[in-house]
Amino acid sequence: MSDPITAAARPQSLEAAIMFVDVSGSTALYRAAGNERAEALVRTALNRLRATTTKLGGRVVKTIGDELMCRFDSAPVAAAAAIEMQRQAQTPLDVEGAKLGLRAGFAYGPVLEREGDVFGDVVNVAARLCAMAKADQILTTEPTAARLDAEQKANTRLFDKTPVKGIREEIVVVQLLWERRNTTLLVPIGAVEAVNAAELELRCRDQTWNFVPEDLPVWIGRAEDCHLVIPSACASRRHARLEYRRGKFTLVDESSNGTYVELSDGDTRRVIYLRNEAFALVGSGRFALGTPPDADPQVLSYQSLPL
């Protein structure tokens, strides 16, 4: 007796990144611009998304209304595609300057592919992430974020937890930040000519950490999954991260309450307040999460050691 399922119709098991990307704001656009112009703008937006998917080696699995379902071979490529899509969305769709926002969600893992379509928990998770995202946001899962390249990881932050139908455990959701405009780099006066730093030493109470550029990025905060867990009531779960930029160890604030950096020059001390900014840790000083250094028992001292 022959197998009723032909070889071509049998599902193929593979690992892939599945992304859903949705054109947001189209409902309001139809009301404001009329059916014909709104449909043309949405079609242009979807064509842009298809072109980006193909350009980066992905494949559009299907179109669902104003939403695309795409497949990529790896998480970093899916992340790169989502970032490029969001950046392209800032370019007007027509000469009148109309724009439409995007929301995207992607996840990596095992899927089944049959006759061009894909199935599995990863698909359900990616769809859920897209539905959770707001306009201009990109969401993924914590295990998927762990597969991103170093630069992409440096631009992630914990976002939320969510249940997904059919999956017992809640999914830890991570946001991929694609705009760099909120991390203005501040360099202390006199540090412009400083030599490149080779090592950063941090101290907090009786603990000491030493980092070289290859160790970064490193997250600091009160969440247990941070590399440096600081149990301060004023600290955010993922408060700040350490990066290495242009030869300098850099503190990047991502918090609600900000970060206070104290600099000293002989008998003179000054405190700089950071909020969604980056600061080059040149020489030595102190910083505290969410409160001035003198008021925080969890203050961190730093020393940047030159090459």
CATH no. for residue 292? 2.60.200.20
- 267 lies in some domain: yes
Task: Name the domain boundary from 153, 176, 199.
Answer: 176
Q: Kindly state the tokens that stand for 153.
A: 């990881």
pLDDT 10s digits, 151-169: 888 888 777 777 777 676 7
Beta-carbon contacts of residue 170 (< 8 Å; ≥ 6 apart)? 161, 162, 163
Mean pLDDT across the stretch 1-9? 55
Q: What's the rounded Cα separation, in Å, for the pair 117 and 128?
A: 18
Helix (H) or strand (E) holding 208: strand 207-211
- 1 lies in some domain: no
**Amino acid occupying residue 145:** A
User: CATH code at 23?
Assistant: 3.30.70.1230
Q: Are residues 164 and 188 in the same domain?
A: no
Per-position b or e across 59-84, b if 16+ CB within 10 A of its CB: ebbeeeebbbbbbbbbbbbbbbbbbb
Q: Are residues 150 and 278 in the same domain?
A: no
Query: Within a 10 A sphere around the Cβ of 139, how many other Cβ atoms?
Result: 28
- 4 lies in some domain: no
**Residue 4 pLDDT greater than 60, yes or no:** no
The strand pairing partners of 251, in sequence order, are 242, 279
Q: Are strands 101-114 and 138-141 parallel, antiparallel or unpaired?
A: parallel
- 128 lies in some domain: yes
Q: What is the pTM of this model?
A: 0.59
Q: Are residues 95 and 19 in the same domain?
A: yes
- 168 lies in some domain: yes
Q: In 3-state terms, what secondary structure has residue 36? A: helix
pLDDT band at 29 (very low <50, low <70, confident <90, very high): confident
Burial (CB < 10 A; 0-12, 13-18, 19+), residue 49, is buried
Task: Name the domain boundary from 148, 176, 204.
Answer: 176
Q: Are residues 69 and 192 in the same domain?
A: no
Burial (CB < 10 A; 0-12, 13-18, 19+), residue 235, is buried
**Residue 125 pLDDT greater than 50, yes or no:** yes
Q: In 3-state terms, what secondary structure has residue 122? A: helix
Mean pLDDT (the chain, rounded): 86
Domain count, the chain: 2
**Residue 115 pLDDT greater than 80, yes or no:** yes
Q: Are residues 80 and 204 in the same domain?
A: no
**Residue 302 pLDDT greater than 60, yes or no:** yes
Q: What's the rounded Cα separation, in Å, for the pair 33 and 176?
A: 32
The predicted structure's pLDDT at residue 113: 92
Contact status, residue 301 vs residue 268, Cβ threshold 8 Å: no
Mean pLDDT across the stretch 15-40? 85
Lowest mean pLDDT among 184-188, 198-202, 255-259, 293-297: 184-188
Query: Within a 10 A sphere around the Cβ of 40, how many other Cβ atoms?
Result: 14
Which residue range(s) make up the domain with 37? 11-176
Task: Name the domain boundary from 123, 156, 176.
Answer: 176
Q: Are residues 171 and 200 in the same domain?
A: no
Q: Are strands 184-186 and 277-280 parallel, antiparallel or unpaired?
A: parallel
Contact status, residue 94 vs residue 41, Cβ threshold 8 Å: yes
pLDDT 10s digits, 192-222: 445 577 899 999 999 999 999 888 889 999 9
